[in-house]
Amino acid sequence: MRILHLLNHVQEIGNGIVNVAIDLACLQAQAGHQIAVASVGGEFEVLLAKYGVKHYVLNQARNPVNLIKASRYYRKIVREFQPDIVHTHNMTGVVLAKLLKPGFNYALISTVHNEFQRSAVLMGLADRVIAISNAVANSMVRRGIPKSKISVVYNGTLGSPRTRNISEYQPLTLSRPAIATVAGMYHRKGIAELIDAFNKIAANFPELHLYLIGNGPDKVTFETQAQNTAFSNRIHFEGFKPEPQKYLLSCDIFVLASHQEPFGLVISEAREAGCAIVATNVDGIPEALDNGTAGILVPPQDSCALATALFNLLNSPEILDKWRKQAQTNLEWLNVSRVNRETLAVYEEAIVNFK
């Protein structure tokens, strides 16, 4: 197959949408398919080239002048590459690919990564829609996308061409016990609740430290919140790290306190690293944690419940060890090879039914 992936960019900044698309493009090329990616560009161009993936420059910034240019460039790309499949991972891309499809012979696939955005309903313009969890699929059905159009392909990162084998990472030397999160510094990610929960229990565990790995527009707000606690010297803002595995292998507890989370790629990485996991019971998170058997689920936006879960783990080495072991069970389904295999099956069905 000739497969064209549409993305806003291919920057190495911890963006889950980009990471999923890069994994697919590389694995599909490795399997012998002809693959191209169209985006504004970024650091992952080097990795794509290594796998023989062609990169086209396509700026999809949403302003009238640029969209006219993007339409012209998109037509040029499609005429040159002649894709059987156009797989779009962004909303501007699906609109471009749908409106400009007449005259071309490709099936249009979209993946819904952030269904909580109102404009995500536009992903339903595609011939087939991939949802990254059952929670996302159900949300899209409620918003009017026909169920028959949707296929669930769970996310997974293990075995990614972007990363090394977990055994090849050297753990960092963190102050322990250590709690860590790997997340964008957005209110949606529950960073404020995590800092508040840490503040509630820190006095009980004088050696406890909190590591926040990630960047984002709300980072300054969270830094101010941390500075206003009595334990600011034990709260560490580490910024974006291209290899978060080094932190995950070093910490005792991983927390994902999101208010909304379609799946959460980092959960599979935390599970592989053997962290005890505490995460919010929202959207696709329970599915990523085998419905609570691989991690502790707490209500969202509830720092008291989060603090209680953390306290119970830290207060009992036996319970902590139990949840570390639980996280590492049943990992096979989180491998990128399964994600790619199921995605290719969606392509094949789309070519038969919609081309």
What are the tens digits of pLDDT across the range 297-317?
A: 999 999 999 999 999 999 999
> How many Cα atoms are found within 13 Å in the side-chain-facing hemisphere of 130?
29
pLDDT tens digits, one per residue of 181-211: 999 999 999 999 999 999 999 999 999 999 9
The predicted structure's pLDDT at residue 115: 79
Q: How far apart are CA 166 and CA 206, in angstroms?
A: 30
Cβ(237)–Cβ(206) under 8 Å? no
Average pLDDT along the chain: 96
pLDDT tens digits, one per residue of 269-303: 999 999 999 999 999 999 999 999 999 999 999 99
Q: How far apart are CA 60 and CA 5, in angstroms?
A: 13
The helix (run of H) or strand (run of E) holding residue 51 is: none
Backbone angles phi, psi at 173, to 5 degrees: -95, 95
**What percent of the chain shows pLDDT beyond 90?**
94
| Alpha helical stretches, state H, 274-316 | 285-288, 303-314
**Whether residue 79 has pLDDT greater than 80:** yes
The predicted structure's pLDDT at residue 234: 98
CATH 3.40.50.2000 domain range(s) in the chain: 2-156+335-354, 166-332
Least reliable range by pLDDT among 9-23, 114-128, 208-222 = 114-128
Cβ(273)–Cβ(250) under 8 Å? no
The predicted structure's pLDDT at residue 160: 97
Question: Average pLDDT for residues 67-74, to the nearest whole number?
Answer: 94
Domain 166-332 class, CATH top level: alpha beta
The predicted structure's pLDDT at residue 354: 64
Instruction: State CA 235 to chain mean position distance.
Output: 24
Closest CA to 254 of 217, 224, 214, 215: 214
| E-strand stretches of 41-137 | 54-57, 85-88, 107-112, 128-131
**Whether residue 355 has pLDDT greater than 70:** no
- As a CATH number, domain 2-156+335-354 is 3.40.50.2000
The predicted structure's pLDDT at residue 114: 83
pLDDT tens digits, one per residue of 125-171: 999 999 999 999 999 999 999 999 999 999 999 999 999 999 999 99
- The whole-model pTM stands at 0.94
